[in-house]
Structure 1
Amino acid sequence: MKKVAIIPLRKGSKGIPGKNKKKLLGRPLFSWVLGAAIFSDLDEVYVFTDDEEILNYVEKEYHWTTKVKGLLRDDVNANDTASTESAMLEFAEKINYNFDMLCLLQATSPLTTAENINEAIVNMYVPNNVSVLSVVKTHRFTWNSDGTPQNYDVFNRPRRQDFDSLLVENGAIYMTTKDAFISSKNRVSGKIGLVEMPEETLVEIDSLSDWTMVENLVAARQKSLKAQQRINYLVLDVDGVFTDGCVYYGAEGELMKKFDMRDGMGLEILRQNGVEVVVITSENSDLVAKRMQKLQIKHTFLGVKDKYSFLQNFIDQQQTLWANLAYVGDDVNDLANLCTVGWSFAPANATAVVKQNVDFTLTNNSADGAIREVCEWIMKYNARF
């Protein structure tokens, strides 16, 4: 059974301009649900959008997986009045209905996980189910507009633990069979199974206040997943970690970056004690490539924008865990990783938002002993293992 997902995105957004590309915890909003889809049991995931910039980003950023594809959405199905169903129908026609199950994922629900998606897939195999949607169990009392209660007696208010909770559609996941979709032309139809997600996933991003709330929820979720084991990998950003964050340019382009020789010695000692060094940077710099070659860091990855998904793929390939990683970062594009790894560090001169979210703020600045300080900390920490 071929399981295909569509993530429909529109370039225009009135509530939050450029919403889908705006960074939530350092990642473009849409990349949260895209990343979840990549590491789920779906076979293909299509980013379906009228935004050429997003399509270019998808092509460049997810070259390490064959699962992700970008597909241009027609303007007529990307305006303010177009329905999601019209976009789904256009998409299905463009791929010649080459699927057995069609999954609709919403970028405005970044708390969706691979496990949630997999649960939806499992529910599609329940006898007689032809569709599945995600819901949240909530203990809320609802009212009619005329001031009458819908689901309880005001003179006999039930305790929360005794209340027959409501199941509310949260708009995160919808799944249906090809036959049901062709017949109904709707995201769900027939006998519908339900996938229960945590109550906090009820919040969808439609306004800036929603954005702030969800970003805090995502950060809290990532931190709640933290676990600590022996550190086997030290992951480093470059600008603002290896370097002082300054770049010197001449007429021919990038001329110079400042590195600290003591950091190099610390990394060499660390490798001699069984800790691999990984460098992930969003920049494509010949100077950085040469410096990492000099330091004999074989795991050097340049030009990576979605560092979180890339690092998750690296972890899977190395058959290790987030708990076995330490990470040093200095700016917002490192936030998702910093909130997830076993131990996270920021140089003393890192941005304020990063220092608020790491386990340790170092006493040294970047390019002035910060990496060496981390190396020495890891050596002491790993001694207990």
Structure 2
Amino acid sequence: MKSIAIIPLRKGSIGIPGKNKKKLLGRPLYQWVLGEAIESNLDEIYIFTDDESIIERIQLDYKWTDKVKVFERSPESATNTASTEFGMLELAQSLDFDFDIYCLLQATSPLTSKDDINKTLDKVVNGGCDSALTVVESKRFLWTKEGTSINYNYLARPRRQDFEGLLIENGAVYAIKKDAYKEQHNRLGGKIGVVEMVEESLIEIDEPADWHIVEQLLANRLSLHKQAASKIKALVLDVDGVFTEGKVWVSGDGELAKAFSLRDGMGLEIARESGIEIVVMTSENSPIVDQRMRKLQINHYYKGVKDKFSLLNKVCAKLNVDRHELAYIGDDVNDLANILSVGWGFTPVDAVSELKQMADVVLHSYGGDKAIREGIETIIKLNKRSKK
């Protein structure tokens, strides 16, 4: 069965200006749910937006997967008053309803995981439901404004552990079969199933205060990947600020020169001799870096990468390693999600302060001046102590 998803992203945002592109742990907000959608069982994901900069970024950044599509929404569907259902119908009709399952994913729910998406799809595909949505169990005692208790008898107040509570819609994932959708033109219809998500996923990013709460929850979740006793099998490296000091000499014709440490180059040889795979990811496209990577015989070299976190998931599968078996050296906020989620996250001593606060190890060396060598020597020592 063909399953597709729509991720609506409107250019205008009242509560948090530029919300969808604002960086959450170094990644634009929309990339969190998009990355999980790519890893899920969905066949196609449509970024439905009127934001030209997002359209451009999607077209440039996700060439490594054939799942991600872009659909430019009409001005009518991008107004403050247009409903999500209106946008969903616009996309469905434009596709001539070429799907079996239609899924709605919300960028404002960045705690959504691929498992949440898959479970919701499964409710519809195999669970005997026409549609499904994600919910959170709440054991809160609810009241009306008139002072009437809704879901419990206040004269016989139950203990929390004995209280059944309620299920609350968290707005993260919805899925519906085509026939039910064509009949209802709604995200839900027919027999409806529910899929429970973790309690913290009830928080959607609508106000600035939500942002800081979700950011901390995401940081805690990513850190669960860390298993210090595991042997590091691969080292992932940024380029500017790690291989180099983060400077470039330019002329009117473009890039002239970058400086690389020969001692770092020797460190990479030592790493390979120790059985550690080397992966290089950079957001830039530089002929100078291309030449240096060829000289260093870096086989896993990825350039022009803006969503490093999602691409690293694909690299992990290719190398048959888990995130806790990776080390990562980065220096700026676009490395933050990976720094948090791998077994060991390193930064050079001159990295931005936000990274230095989150990294497992702040190296003594500067970017472009033996930071890679120091990181490799540290990893080799850690691997000798590892029990796995």
The gaps in structure 2 that reach 5 residues or longer are: none
Q: Can you list the C-alpha shifts for 1:301-358, whole angstroms capped at 9, x where unaligned? A: 1110000001111111222211221000111100111111111101111111101111
What amino acid sits opposite 2:80 in the alignment?
Answer: D
Q: Which residue of 2 aligns with 1:82?
A: 82
Shift of 1:127: 5.2
- Alignment: residue pair count: 385
Q: Which residue of 2 aligns with 1:214?
A: 214
Matched, 1:256 2:257: yes
Q: Distance in 1 between matches of 2:206 and 2:225?
A: 27
Matched, 1:309 2:310: yes
Q: Distance in 2 between matches of 1:371 and 1:214?
A: 32
TM-score, normalising length: structure 2: 0.97
Matched, 1:181 2:181: yes
Aligned 8 A contact 2:225 2:343 in 1: no
Q: Which residue of 2 aligns with 1:194?
A: 194
What amino acid sits opposite 2:246 in the alignment?
Answer: G
Q: Which residue of 2 aligns with 1:35?
A: 35
Q: Which residue of 1 aligns with 2:373?
A: 372
What amino acid sits opposite 1:119 in the alignment?
Answer: K
Q: Distance in 1 between matches of 2:359 and 2:154?
A: 47
Matched, 1:50 2:43: no
TM-score, normalising length: structure 1: 0.97
SS of residue in 1 equivalent to 2:134: strand
What amino acid sits opposite 1:111 in the alignment?
Answer: L
Q: Can you list the C-alpha shifts for 1:90-119, whole angstroms capped at 9, x where unaligned? A: 000111100011000001001100000111
Matched, 1:136 2:136: yes
Q: In the TM superposition, what are the counterparts of 1:123-162 in structure 2 within 5 Å?
A: 123-126=123-126, 128-162=128-162
The gaps in structure 1 that reach 5 residues or longer are: none
Q: Distance in 1 between matches of 2:336 and 2:165?
A: 35
Q: Distance in 2 between matches of 1:258 and 1:156?
A: 73
SS of residue in 2 equivalent to 1:383: helix
Shift of 1:268: 1.0
SS of residue in 2 equivalent to 1:155: helix
What amino acid sits opposite 1:262 in the alignment?
Answer: R
Q: Distance in 2 between matches of 1:230 and 1:102?
A: 42
Deviates more, 1:45-54 or 1:305-314: 45-54
Q: Distance in 2 between matches of 1:192 and 1:212?
A: 33
Aligned 8 A contact 2:239 2:282 in 1: yes
In percent, how many aligned pairs have the same letter?
Answer: 54
SS of residue in 1 equivalent to 2:341: coil
Q: Distance in 2 between matches of 1:59 and 1:96?
A: 23
Structure 1 segments, 4+ long, off by >3 Å, are 125-128
Shift of 1:165: 1.6
Deviates more, 1:215-224 or 1:152-161: 152-161
Q: Can you list the C-alpha shifts for 1:121-179, whole angstroms capped at 9, x where unaligned? A: 11113554100000001111111001222122333322211111210000000110101
Q: Which residue of 1 aligns with 2:348?
A: 347
What amino acid sits opposite 1:371 in the alignment?
Answer: I
